[in-house]
Amino acid sequence: MRRTQRHAFGSICFDKRRGQWRYYWYQEGERRSRTIGTRQQYPTKAAAWRTIESTRLRIDPQAESTTVSAMIEFWRQEKMARRYSTRRVYECWIRNHIEPVWGDRPIADLQPRPVELWLNSLELAPRSRASIRMVLSLPLDYAMWRGDLLVNRNPMSLVRIRGSSKRMCKARSLTVEEFQLLLRELDEPFRTIALVSLCFGLRISECLALKWSDVDWLKGRLHIQRGIVRQRVGETKTEYSNKPAAISPLMAAVLGRWKQTTQFSAEVDWIFASPVRAGRLPWSSDAVTDAYRKAAGKAGLDNVTTHAMRHTYRSWLDALGTPIAVQQKLMRHADIRTTMNVYGDVVTDQMEQAQSKVGELALNSTQAARSSS
């Protein structure tokens, strides 16, 4: 075992004649050597090995000949995430930031210090720079898995981005009054889209991907089975996102009215089918975003995005005193730490009660406003 390791990764010996540590390895069948330093610099063999560990990427001949762009292409074909929305984000970082700077350079050049200095020079939010670091690390992991690099600590794990866990902008949550102001300015189907997104806590990709066949009118369940991003239908974000949601009587009435209104009401139709596409596809998220922006401007609100509905849902659950474990189930988070760092489990009737309360907040105040006017 030791002989195999020495041949694969090299060995370190102290040259008494020169008074230096030397590293020996094999490259293309030939023995190569490299001076590491003196005993004063590295008192022990372990200290000399640590230096080699940090520079081993440069010693590997494959690392010197394979470019970053080439390795990204290999990774793209074999190991890159298959989900369209994930690939789209990765490709954006690669196309706009990584390849223009690193594409023609060997993967051995992806060392912690130059990469960190480069990332810190970018005029991007810390979280965006952390995302670029993450995307850079994936082809390097792949290169080690494939055998182009010796299995070692990924150099991107040494890159630090300060403030990457902090949001630059606070997540937007609407009060009940603000949501009612927004609803008054929204036309259909965007008004119903906002209600469904908020009352079920759906991501916009999940809301727009709903079909009438997903509504179980008898059992009062809404089945979330797919997502749509840039008009491409795919899976939901995680397997936990597929959990069905309870439909309160108030929301059943909202969906029932919309089913009677829309011209696309067959079981196979999208609930929010776009007449522009003759019902073949739902409304796009860009169209919904634009409708929200215009309605928010008329209502005197700012920063109302499609994802604000999901944040609002979480805030209202909290305001109603819903247990955190119930919130996790309703938000369909894979890990409760995503919702809050508390553990627990819940029963179904608690979830239905909480779901119903959110619907009452969203809809009862609307009915009161109509009667007063």
Query: Could you give the domains of the chain?
Result: 2-58 (1.20.5), 65-158 (1.10.150.130), 176-372 (1.10.443.10)
Task: Provide the 10 A C-beta neighbour count for residue 179.
Answer: 25
- b or e along 212-236 (b: 16 or more beta carbons within 10 Å of the residue's beta carbon)? bebbeeeebebebebbbbebeebeb
pTM: 0.60
What pLDDT score does 2 carry? 36
Divide the 373 residues of the chain into consecutive groups of 10 and give the mean pLDDT of each group: 42 84 73 79 81 57 72 90 88 93 88 90 90 92 82 77 63 84 92 92 90 92 88 78 84 92 93 89 93 92 87 83 75 58 38 73 68 57
Cα 103 from Cα 27, distance rounded (Å): 25
Cα 154 from Cα 144, distance rounded (Å): 9
Cα 214 from Cα 196, distance rounded (Å): 13
* Burial tier of 266 (Cβ tally within 10 Å: 0-12, 13-18, 19+): exposed
What pLDDT score does 361 carry? 80
Cα 293 from Cα 186, distance rounded (Å): 10
